[in-house]
Structure 1
Amino acid sequence: MEEASDYSIVWVTAPDLKVAHDLVKEVLALHLAACAKIIPGIESHYWWQSQLESASECQIVFKTRKALMAALGEVIQAHHPYEVPECVSVAMQAGLPSYLQWIDQETDQSPTNA
């Protein structure tokens, strides 16, 4: 494994599979992430407008470069149905060199690199 401080994992929730698939297609079409995993059937509990809420949602996990996180966030904000969508990132600590190179190759075509 090698140090991976230039890479991030971005977590986004979606209200259902259709929205999750649409968001993934949009982000991947722009090469803002190398891949995305959709995890259906998560249960979220949260405060919203002073009310305790719960919902069944999908979790999307994107793998990307830190340099693309702002653009990825803008796409999520523009296409997400929630007023305040969850879009948070965590830094990768380490990864296999071949995997990190693959992320570079697949995201090198993003409009932010043009």
Structure 2
Amino acid sequence: MNPRKFALVFITAPDLKTARKLARAALTARLIACANLLPHIESHYRWQGKLECGNEVLLVLKTTRSRLPALERLILAQHPYDTPEFLVLPVNGGAKKYLAWLAESCAAPPGAGTN
């Protein structure tokens, strides 16, 4: 299994409720195999010309590269931020069994169309 067909996606959310909603929507649509939610991160950034900081939740999503366009559409449609973070990192390696599970978890069920 070629690990380069997989990706990690980083997204920040304003709170756990929103992060859980986004993770559940992506899992239900089979756009991701897994979501890790890391609460209590402190973000520092420039927004509309001002330095800002605040608490957020970081989502780390595991998916296939073929699911990225649909995943991005879902996140942008459901995220409360005007400009949500959606960063994609390539996967350069991984345990064969885990990557096989990841691919299977993101595959459309038999008889279903792809997103």
With the shorter chain as reference, the TM-score category is over 0.9
Aligned identity (percent) is 36
Aligned to 1:113: 114
Question: What CA distance in whole angstroms lies between the structure 2 residues aligned with 1:112 and 1:69?
Answer: 16
Q: Does 1:64 align with 2:63?
A: yes
| Secondary structure, counterpart of 1:83 in structure 2 | coil
Deviating beyond 4 angstroms after TM superposition, the runs of 4 or more aligned structure 1 residues are: none
- 1:3: how far off? 4.7
Question: What CA distance in whole angstroms lies between the structure 2 residues aligned with 1:65 and 1:45?
Answer: 30
- 1:113: how far off? 2.5
**Larger strand fraction of residues:** 1
Aligned to 1:40: 39
Question: What CA distance in whole angstroms lies between the structure 2 residues aligned with 1:56 and 1:69?
Answer: 26
Aligned to 1:25: 24
Question: What CA distance in whole angstroms lies between the structure 2 residues aligned with 1:112 and 1:43?
Answer: 40
RMSD: 1.5
- 1:112: how far off? 5.9
Question: What CA distance in whole angstroms lies between the structure 1 residues aligned with 2:23 and 2:46?
Answer: 26
- 1:109: how far off? 1.7
| Secondary structure, counterpart of 2:89 in structure 1 | strand
> AA paired with 1:113?
T
Q: Does 1:97 align with 2:91?
A: no
TM-score computed with the length of structure 2 as normaliser = 0.93
